[in-house]
Amino acid sequence: MPNTDDAVFLQILNSKRPDQIINLIMNDSNGHFETRGLKGFFGLDEIWIDRGEFLVSMEEYAMLLSYLLETMSEAQDLNLPYGYMENFEFKGQRYSLIRQNGHRVLTKAD
């Protein structure tokens, strides 16, 4: 049986810079999805999303991660600093992105 601890569930491509691809890894042991590539490309914390929350709103989270990737890349291209906002809105939905144990936990805010 294959080891699914680091199974790539989704790849997100930067439409403006196709060489920038981040993976979304399904981590069975911790019950979450996590990005891989943000630290390498931008020196930023990777993002974790609860598995149940992600699976219910998969398309929404994929679009949000794509947006974050492209804004990080644009800031880098303009030599501007990029920092995560702990609370923000995307397409009418509020989210939180809280730092926890060396990564960022992304959740929908009520």
- The pLDDT tens digits for 58-84 are 999 999 999 999 999 999 999 999 999
Residue 43, classed as helix, strand or coil, is coil
CA-to-CA dists, residue 62 to 3, 21, 72, angstroms? 24, 13, 15
CA angle 4/30/47 to nearest 5° reads: 95
Name the CA dihedral angle for 82, 72, 51, 99, rounded to a multiple of 10 degrees.
-10
Confidence (pLDDT) at 5: 57
Q: How confident is the model at residue 6 (pLDDT cuts 50, 70, 90)?
A: confident
pTM: 0.90
CA angle 81/37/19 to nearest 5° reads: 90
Which tokens sit at 71?
């804004």
Which tokens sit at 82?
């990029």
